[in-house]
């Protein structure tokens, strides 16, 4: 009888341990989306084209976080796409980098994927990557890497394909510890506070670079639009849906007054607008040193917890005003 009881207790302990292990696995969450995950955080940061010839971008709908930044004084923008939860087989189109993009990549400590970069004295992205301590692996397609090639169905320079999954698989992750500036709730929430906003637009200077968002109460996500048309992934053809949007206001200037050499102040402190669950909020962002992550704070000075899911971060010059449409 005692042996039977002991055996039953042993089984109960085994099942309890297994249940605890399952719970531990369920509570492991991605640092880029806050969603449950069963794999390590291994982040790829990719510089993507946004000229009309590069649209629709292939694979961008799989990104966890996407930044849009101006790189010309005329308002032309490019994307910096952060992949972690899902690594697409291919993405298109890869384009060259600026210092601002290296500064963004440094927030995540993962490999940087790009096709060339600016080399002018004072705005040399390669020099910036060299002096930043522990900058991640640099995959520069312009050097002849076999995982980058031209799409014959599109015109250069808007047609560089990257075999992203192959780069991911060949990366030595043993010495890489990725991080993220975003903090997430553990569940979805429509905030009680905040201003109800269903439509808003981010007005860059160029007329053909106008992202906007519309809250879908049924999906509980933001639908992304570009130039008043649905913004779709070039691989799936599906409209990109977003859980959080941050409009990060920053100071812009230009090296020696040249309109193609941006100086983007991602260090210091400035205001931000953010959108969660169909509500609009204001706050601040802060990054004391380039080696530190950006901290996003609400108006009370507390760290913002975003809803689990994808996030678009619109980097907007301080002299431009966010447009609330509805």
**Could you tell me the residue ranges of all domains in the chain?**
44-175, 195-324
Tens of pLDDT, residue by residue over 29-51, are 999 999 999 999 999 999 999 99
Q: Which positions ≥6 away from 229 have C-beta within 8 Å?
A: none
Answer yes or no: same fold for 44-175 and 195-324: yes
pLDDT band at 11 (very low <50, low <70, confident <90, very high): very low
CATH class of domain segment(s) 195-324: alpha beta
pLDDT, position 202: 97
Confidence at 75, pLDDT banded by 50, 70, 90: confident
CATH class of 44-175: alpha beta
Q: What residues form DSSP beta bridges with 198? A: none
40, 178, 203, 324 from 213: Cα distances, Å: 31, 29, 12, 10
Between CA 82 and CA 105 the distance in angstroms is 9
Scanning 77-151, the segments in alpha helix (DSSP H) are 99-105, 125-131
For the segment 60-81, the average pLDDT, to the nearest whole number, is 96
Alpha carbon 118 to its chain centroid, in Å, reads 21
- What digits encode the pLDDT tens for the residues 125-164? 999 999 998 899 999 999 889 999 999 999 999 999 999 9
Instruction: Report how far residue 198's alpha carbon sits from residue 260's, in angstroms, rounded to the nearest whole number.
Output: 34
Tokens of 167: 């780069």
């Amino acid at each position: 009888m005692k042996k039977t009881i002991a055996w039953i207790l042993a089984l109960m302990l085994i099942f309890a341990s297994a249940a605890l292990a399952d719970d531990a696995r369920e509570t492991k969450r991605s640092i880029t989306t806050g969603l449950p995950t069963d794999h390590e955080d291994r982040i790829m940061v990719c510089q993507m084209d946004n000229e009309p010839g590069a649209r629709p971008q292939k694979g961008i709908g799989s990104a966890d976080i996407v930044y849009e930044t101006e790189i010309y004084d005329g308002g032309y923008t490019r994307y910096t796409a952060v992949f972690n939860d899902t690594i697409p087989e291919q993405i298109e189109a890869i384009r060259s980098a600026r210092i601002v993009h290296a500064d963004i990549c440094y927030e995540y400590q993962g490999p940087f994927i790009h096709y060339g970069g600016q080399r002018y004295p004072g705005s040399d992205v390669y020099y910036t990557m060299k002096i930043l301590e522990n900058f991640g692996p640099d995959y520069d397609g312009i050097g002849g890497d076999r995982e980058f090639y031209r799409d014959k169905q599109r015109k250069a320079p808007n047609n560089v394909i990257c075999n992203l999954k192959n780069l991911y698989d060949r990366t030595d992750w043993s010495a890489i510890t990725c991080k993220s500036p975003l903090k997430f709730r553990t569940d979805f929430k429509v905030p009680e506070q905040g201003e109800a906003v269903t439509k808003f637009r981010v007005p860059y200077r160029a007329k053909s670079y106008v992202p906007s968002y519309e809250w879908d109460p049924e999906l509980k996500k933001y639908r992304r639009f570009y130039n008043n048309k649905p913004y779709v992934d070039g691989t799936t053809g599906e409209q990109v849906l977003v859980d959080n949007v941050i409009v990060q206001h920053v100071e812009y200037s230009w090296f020696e007054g040249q309109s193609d050499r941006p100086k983007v102040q991602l260090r210091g402190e400035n205001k931000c607008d953010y959108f969660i669950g169909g509500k609009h909020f204001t706050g601040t962002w802060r990054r004391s040193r380039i080696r530190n992550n950006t901290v996003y704070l609400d108006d009370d000075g507390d760290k913002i917890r975003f809803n689990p899911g994808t996030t678009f971060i619109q980097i907007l010059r301080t002299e431009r005003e966010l447009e609330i449409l509805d």
